[in-house]
Structure 1
Amino acid sequence: METTPFTKCSALKPILAAVFLISPFAARAGESATRVRALRVPGVSKIVKAQSGTDGVIHLLFAEVDGPHYANSRDGGATFSPPIPVLDAAARKPGLEFHAEDLAVGKDGRVHVAMSCNAWKLKLPQEEWSLHYATLAPDAKTFSPVRNLNRKPSEGFCLAADERGRVTAAFLSSKLFAMTSNDSGVTFGPWAELNPAWNPCDCCTTSATYGPDGKLALIYREETNHERDVYVVLWDQRSESKPARTRLSGVSWNVNACPMTYYSINRTDTGYVAAWPTKGQVYFAKLDQEGKVLPPGEIKTPGTNGMRTGILALSAADGTTLVAWKNKDVLGWQLYDAKGRPEGKPGSETSPGNGAAGVVLRDGRFLLFP
C-alpha cells in the first residue's frame, strides 16, 4: 500500500493509452521465469495496489496527476481495460488533491477504494482531514460519488472486503479505529476504537484482510515505551467478542522516533502471510487462523525499506511465498518455498513511487507491477 500523509503530495504522469498492452520483463538470474514475472503497464508509473478477485480478475489502483485511477485485466495481465477515474466531478475542487491509499475487492467483484487528501494544507475544516471512499459496482462504468467516511483527522488508511458483503475501513488517529459495513459499502456503522490500551505508531500505517474463517486480520505497529513492535489483530465481527492481538515481530526495535513504515497482510488457504520492516530490514512470517506465527517463524529477507515504502507478501496454494519491497525507486523481491527457504536469487526492477503491488494467479504464478 502507498500511503500519502497529510504533509506529502506527489506529481504523477498521465495515461498514454486507452487499452494497456503489457510487456513482460525477464526474471532475474536464479528465478523461474514461469513463476515470477514483472509486468509494466505502459503510461502507468505509480501503481499503489493490485488485487486479484475470486473470479481471477486483476484489479489495479494507480496514481495520476488528476487523482486516483482504476483499471482491470480479465486475461491474466495480457491486457488492461481503459482507465476509470475514481474521483467524481463533485469531488474536484480548486487546490484539493486526492491520493490513492488502498483497494479491496469484495462481494460480486465490487471494488472499494480508500483515499486521503490535502484538506489540512488548504486549512479546510478538520472533518475533511479524513478517510474518503468510493466504490465501483460490478459492471459499472463509473465509481460512486466520493464520500467522507469518518469525518475525523486521520491517516494510515486500509480496507478489507469479503465475499459476504462485509467491508472494514481502518485508520489511525492517535489510536486504532475501524468502521464496518455489512452491505458492500452502502452504509457503514460508526467508527470505534479497537482497544484503548493499544498505542499505535501514528506515522506508520495499517493493513487488513479477511481470513479463510471469516475473521478480520489487521496489522499495525505499536509505540508504547518506544518499542516499535508489529502486532496482528484478529476480530471475529460475527460475534460479540472483542478484537485480540498477537505480537508478530520477534526482533525488538526501541527507537524514540516514528520509523514511518508500511507492511502487508494477505489471506492464505490456512491463515495469513505478513511482511514488515524492523530496523530497515524486511521480515515475513506465515500465521495460522489464530494469528500464531508458524514454523520456521519470522524470516529475514534480503530486502530493505525506506520511509513510507511498500512491502508485499503473497502465498500460492502450494505454500510458495513471494516477498517484495520498494526502496529508492527499485522494486525488489525474493521467492521462498513452502518451508521458508529461499528459491533462487533476489530479483529487482526499477520502479518509481512507493507502492509494492502484485497478485497471485490461479495457476500459482506471481505477477508484480513495477
Structure 2
Amino acid sequence: MWVARSDDEGKTFAPEKPAFAEPTGACGCCGMRALADEQGEIYVLYRSAKEQVHRDIYLLTSGDQGADFQGVDLHPWQISTCPMSSMSLTRSAAGVLAAWETDGQVYWTRIESTTGKRASPVSAPGSTGKRKHPVVAANKEGETILGWTEGMGWNQGGSLAWQVFDK
C-alpha cells in the first residue's frame, strides 16, 4: 500500500511512500476500503498478495493524518488465487466496524476509536460456502447488521443474506 499526503486540502501532494513498513502487497481485484473518523484517525482495510499464496486481511491505522501507519494482520488465508471479494468499513457509536471475507465465510469486528482495541472477529451464522462482498452497519441502539452475498461468482448472480447482531 502506498500513500500520497496533502497538507493543503488536495491542492498539492507529497511524493507517494509506502504506508506500511511490511511488504504485504495488495490484491488487485479485492476492493480496498479507507475511512477517516471524527477524531481524524485513518483506517485502511485491504487484502494482501504476498508470495502468491498469502491473501490475508490487513488493517492499517494512522493517528497523525496519514504520516505514519501501524498495521495488523486481522485474518490470515493461504490461497493461490484471487478470491475477488470486497470489504467494508463504517463508523458506529462504539467505534469503527470492519467486515471482510475469508475462505467463503464473512466476518466483522469492532475497533474502538480511542484505544484501537479490536474485538474478536464474528462470523455470519450458518453453513459457509460462497459468501462474499460483506457490508456492515450499526444503528444508534448499538445493533449491528452484516449483509453479504451467497453463491455469487464471475458472471453469476447469487442471493442476498444478512444477520442482525445485538449490542
Q: What amino acid maps onto 1:313 in structure 2?
A: V
What is the rounded CA distance, in whole Å, between the counterparts of 2:12 and 2:165 in structure 1? 39
Match for 1:234 among 61, 72, 77? Answer: 61
Q: Does structure 1 residue 209 correspond to structure 2 residue 35? A: yes
**What is the aligned partner in structure 1 of residue 111 from structure 2?**
287
**What is the aligned partner in structure 1 of residue 164 from structure 2?**
335
What is the rounded CA distance, in whole Å, between the counterparts of 1:194 and 1:239 in structure 2? 8
> Which runs of 5 or more structure 1 residues have no equivalent in the other structure?
1-175, 339-370
- Percent identity reads 25
Secondary structure in 2 matching 1:274: strand
- CA RMSD for the aligned pairs? 2.4
Cα distance change on mapping 1:269 and 1:179 into 2, 3 Å: farther
**What is the aligned partner in structure 2 of residue 300 from structure 1?**
123
Q: What amino acid maps onto 2:4 in structure 1?
A: M
What is the rounded CA distance, in whole Å, between the counterparts of 1:285 and 1:315 in structure 2? 12
Match for 1:318 among 141, 155, 159? Answer: 141
Measure how far apart 1:188 and its partner are.
4.5
Higher CA-based Rg: 1
Cα distance change on mapping 1:317 and 1:224 into 2, 3 Å: same
TM-score normalised by the chain length of structure 1: 0.38
Measure how far apart 1:220 and its partner are.
0.7
**What is the aligned partner in structure 2 of residue 270 from structure 1?**
94
**What is the aligned partner in structure 2 of residue 200 from structure 1?**
26
Q: What amino acid maps onto 2:82 in structure 1?
A: C
Measure how far apart 1:182 and its partner are.
5.1
Measure how far apart 1:199 and its partner are.
1.9
Matches within 5 A, 1:1-370: 176-181=1-6, 185=10, 187-190=11-14, 191-195=16-20, 197-225=23-51, 226-238=53-65, 240=67, 242-249=68-75, 252-289=76-113, 290-294=115-119, 297-302=120-125, 304-306=130-132, 310-326=133-149, 327=152, 328-338=157-167
CA contact (8 A) 1:212 1:271 kept: no
Cα distance change on mapping 1:270 and 1:179 into 2, 3 Å: farther
Cα distance change on mapping 1:238 and 1:220 into 2, 3 Å: closer
> Which runs of 5 or more structure 2 residues have no equivalent in the other structure?
none
